[in-house]
Each structure stands twice: as structure tokens, then as C-alpha cells.
């Protein structure tokens, strides 16, 4: 059958073009690994620099401190969170860019724009929500809200990239709810889920799509 390779090539092209135009596949597993490591380093920094090495938060911890000391801790924690965020985003952009060059794909496409929109909407809502908590001095639910909104943004972005992200998002949401129920354990939940999960997922994605 002389036409066979022709048809097979046609089908291969259809599959490739469909996939590349509807899913952002330059997302690198390495981004996940390094985002996780950055998050863990940030959490460790928070615990040792600001929380006297205590993993479990309690009211007594704060009642023994003066108001200015507490404010110093709050500002420090926010700065630290900002630094972790910037480093993770920069690293994930860097690894995605490298992967897209390696696979000679483009980074800025209609599908990557959709992916970003779907990520940003829940993240932005969550960010504003957390700022409102800060203004009202409600600290208890900040960590759980981060987990929940981050999880939601992953779930909403998953249709434009690897399906695996869906489960990562789901686990983040569930652990956010658990953290809300047990607020004292917030840091443990946060480090475990965000840090370790990203590393595990990064390794998974890397092994599955990049080796």
C-alpha cells in the first residue's frame, strides 16, 4: 500500500498541531521542583527567623510579644512570601522558556495566554481576599486561603496544559480546607503540600514528558 505513509504522516500532523495549539506543553517539571524547593526554604526561613523555630502556631506565642515585635514579624513574613513568589515565578518562566527553545515551540501563543488568564483570575481574587484579611488583622485564614485559591487556579488552568495539574490543584484545595479547620498547623500544611507536592509533581512531569 503505497499511500500508507502519507496517511500516517497526515494523522501525525493533525495530532501534533491539535495538541500544540490547544495545550501549553512547555511547562517544565523542573519549574515544579524548584518552586517546591523555594517554598520549603521560605517556610524554613519563616520558622527560624520569625517564629522561634516553632512549627505549631499558638496564641501564647504572640501574646508574649510586644505589638511592635509582632508587627516586625508580620512585615518580615510578608516580605519573605513576596521573595519566594518572585523567585518561583522567575524560575518557572526560565525553565519553561528553555524547554520551549529546546522543543522549538513558542512561549507566547493563544493557548499560553488562555493558560495565564485562567491562572491569574483565581490567584488575583485570592490575593485581594488575603489583603483584606491582612487589613482586618485576621491571620488565621491566610495560609488556608493561599492553598485554596492556588488550588483553584491550578484546576482552572488544567484544561490548557498537562492534566496532571488538576490533581495537584485538588490536593491543594483539600489541604487548604484542612488547614482552615486546624489553623495552628498552617505552616506544616503549607510546607508539606506546597513544597513537597511541587517537588513530587515536578519530578513526575519531568520523568513523564521530558526524559
Partner 1 sequence: MKVDISGLSKFFENRVRLGIMSILIVNDSYDFNSLKAALGVTDGNLASHLRSLEESGLVSVNKKFIGKKPNTSYSATETGEKLFRTHLKALEQLIRKQ
18 binds partner 1 (CB under 8 A): yes
Binding segment for partner 1 among 13-21, 28-36, 69-77, 198-206 (CB under 8 A)?
13-21
Residue 1 vs 181, nearer CB to partner 1: 1
Closest approach, Cβ 4 to partner 1, in A, equals 5
> Among candidates 83, 117, 92, 81, which has minimal Cα distance to 27?
92
- Say how far apart CA 84 and CA 39 lie, in whole Å: 6
Among 69, 110, 128, 210, binds partner 1 (CB under 8 A): 110
CA dihedral 36→40→46→49, nearest 10 degrees, is -130
> Among candidates 136, 113, 133, which has minimal Cα distance to 125?
133
Residue 5 vs 53, nearer CB to partner 1: 5
101 binds partner 1 (CB under 8 A): no
129, 172 contact by CB (below 8 A): no
> x/- site string to partner 1, residues 143 to 182, per CB under 8 A?
----------------------------------------
Number of residues engaging partner 1 in binding (CB under 8 A)? 18
55 binds partner 1 (CB under 8 A): no
Beta carbons within 10 angstroms of residue 107's beta carbon:
13
21 binds partner 1 (CB under 8 A): yes
- Say how far apart CA 81 and CA 46 lie, in whole Å: 9
Amino acid at each position: 500500500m503505497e499511500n500508507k505513509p502519507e496517511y500516517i504522516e497526515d494523522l501525525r500532523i493533525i495530532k501534533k498541531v491539535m495538541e500544540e495549539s490547544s495545550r501549553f506543553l512547555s511547562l517544565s517539571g523542573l519549574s515544579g521542583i524548584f518552586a517546591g524547593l523555594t517554598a520549603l526554604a521560605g517556610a524554613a526561613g519563616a520558622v527560624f527567623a520569625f517564629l522561634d523555630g516553632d512549627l505549631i502556631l499558638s496564641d501564647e506565642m504572640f501574646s508574649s510579644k510586644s505589638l511592635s515585635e509582632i508587627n516586625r514579624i508580620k512585615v518580615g513574613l510578608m516580605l519573605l512570601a513576596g521573595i519566594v513568589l518572585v523567585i518561583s515565578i522567575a524560575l518557572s518562566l526560565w525553565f519553561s522558556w528553555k524547554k520551549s527553545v529546546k522543543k522549538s515551540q513558542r512561549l507566547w501563543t493563544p493557548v499560553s495566554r488562555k493558560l495565564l488568564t485562567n491562572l491569574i483570575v483565581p490567584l488575583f481574587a485570592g490575593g485581594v481576599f488575603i489583603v483584606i484579611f491582612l487589613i482586618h488583622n485576621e491571620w488565621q485564614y491566610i495560609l488556608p486561603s493561599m492553598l485554596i485559591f492556588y488550588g483553584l487556579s491550578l484546576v482552572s488552568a488544567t484544561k490548557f496544559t498537562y492534566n496532571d495539574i488538576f490533581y495537584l490543584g485538588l490536593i491543594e484545595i483539600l489541604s487548604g480546607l484542612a488547614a482552615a479547620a486546624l489553623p495552628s498547623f498552617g505552616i506544616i500544611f503549607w510546607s508539606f503540600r506546597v513544597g513537597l507536592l511541587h517537588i513530587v509533581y515536578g519530578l513526575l512531569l519531568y520523568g513523564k514528558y521530558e526524559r
